[in-house]
Amino acid sequence: MAKRELPKHVYRQRNGIYFQRRGWPSRKFQNEFGTPEFWKEYADILSGERQAPRVVSRNFSALVDHYRRSPKYKRLKPRTALDYDKYLDFFKSIMGDANPAAMKRKDVIRLRDANAEKAYSQTTHCGFSAS
């Protein structure tokens, strides 16, 4: 039986080298095998110091970003896109980290009512009419 080149729980895949261990999250190594940076990364994973960066895609920021990449947004006239951007940025600053799936009808009504005193064009462009 041939001696294994890679350390325990490290496997070579088509697109890189991965740490895979039962009960642990899989991680792709950022450094080349054999370099001092690789061994530091391996030690950090085993000690639990280095957590994989979490990609959060279930929030309003991700929805706004997804919309801005969509063909529908890209077909907007430049002036319309600028108007939308103002309101999207405002909405993102307020609701950015909130999970849209957790939002209830009462939350939408509360948001609408909070904006009822603002100018008509602001509330209708945000999608919240005062009526």
* Cα–Cα distance, 115 to 106 (Å, whole number): 14
64 and 42 within one domain: no
Asked, for residue 53, whether it belongs to a domain, the answer is: no
121 and 67 within one domain: yes
Whether 2 shows a pLDDT value over 70: the answer reads no
Q: Angle at CA 42, nearest 5°, toward 36 and 44?
A: 105
Asked, for residue 31, whether it belongs to a domain, the answer is: yes
Q: Are 64 and 88 in contact (CB under 8 A)?
A: yes
The alpha carbon of residue 114 and the mean position of all alpha carbons in its chain are separated, in whole angstroms, by 27
- pLDDT above 90: percentage of residues in the chain: 27
The 10s digit of each residue's pLDDT in 10-51 is: 999 888 999 998 888 888 898 899 899 999 999 988 887 766
Asked, for residue 131, whether it belongs to a domain, the answer is: no
pTM over 0.95: no
80 and 36 within one domain: no
The 10s digit of each residue's pLDDT in 92-118 is: 888 888 888 888 999 888 888 887 777
85 and 117 within one domain: yes
* Cα–Cα distance, 105 to 36 (Å, whole number): 54
The 10s digit of each residue's pLDDT in 53-101 is: 565 678 888 889 999 999 999 999 999 999 999 989 988 888 888 888 8
- Overall number of domains in the chain: 2
40 and 64 within one domain: no
Asked, for residue 77, whether it belongs to a domain, the answer is: yes
Domain that includes residue 21, residue range: 10-47
Asked, for residue 83, whether it belongs to a domain, the answer is: yes
81 and 31 within one domain: no
Asked, for residue 95, whether it belongs to a domain, the answer is: yes
